[in-house]
Amino acid sequence: MKKEKFTYEKSGVNINAADNFVKFISSISPKNKGKKKFQNIGGFGSISNIPNDIKRPKIVACTDGVGTKVEIANTLNKYDTIGIDLVAMSVNDLIVQGAKPLLFLDYISINKINLKKLKSILKGIVKGCKISNCELVGGETAEMPGTYENGKFDIAGFAVGVVDGNKILDKKNIKKNDLILAIPSSGIHSNGYSLVRYVLKKKKINLKIKIYSQRNS
């Protein structure tokens, strides 16, 4: 009786593709004075210093994702901007507490590794980190056949920041008659996309009905 050889590849997990993606991450990591800021690539965790110019450092950490905006990215086949939103969702939660963003890690889970898609997502994450002046220090990519439908994926982010204990923005300090300054958004970002997709779907249906009515009038 011939013995069957069991491998990760037969189960739908491509380890070589994952290794190639790690190499790509290493190649686009920002550099500072000739040394890569993204340390310990491929290891089990990243190691970073706490800024020494803060007298009473308090660590602030948060995590978030982009919700169903991943469905918009799949529909449009455009993945180079969703990473920016991913960074913003966590970084924004830091700065509203007075913290300075320091580190960011990403988590990407996908049914099957698609290097083109993953590279595009990561470029957006790198750009988001650059805009927010924090370092991409690590992450995780999980190939999960059978968990997601073909072409489907999800992303999450984790950010760490630091704030001086005397400068924490506490909601308890908000008082009646305080001024509220609003900053206009550059567009719809990552919250409320279930509603956005619902509206777009309804608009598309109504447009089709309108076109059909015009053709048959």
Grouping H, G, I as helix, E, B as strand and the rest as coil, residue 113 is coil
Rounded CA-CA distance 22/16 in Å is 10
pLDDT of residue 211: 44
Q: Is the CB of residue 80 less than 8 Å from the CB of residue 185?
A: no
Give the distance, in angstroms, between the CA of residue 119 and the centroid of all CA atoms in the same chain: 13
pLDDT digits (tens, 9 = 90+) for 127-148: 999 999 999 988 888 888 888 8
pLDDT of residue 89: 93
Which of the four CATH numbers 3.90.1150.10, 3.40.50.300, 3.10.310.30, 3.30.1330.10 does domain 12-29+53-169 have?
3.30.1330.10
pLDDT digits (tens, 9 = 90+) for 18-33: 666 666 666 666 544 4
Q: Is the CB of residue 65 less than 8 Å from the CB of residue 90?
A: no
Q: How many Cβ atoms are within 10 Å of 153's Cβ, its own excluded? A: 24
pTM: 0.75
Rounded CA-CA distance 191/145 in Å is 28
Rounded CA-CA distance 76/66 in Å is 16
- The average pLDDT across 77-102 equals 94
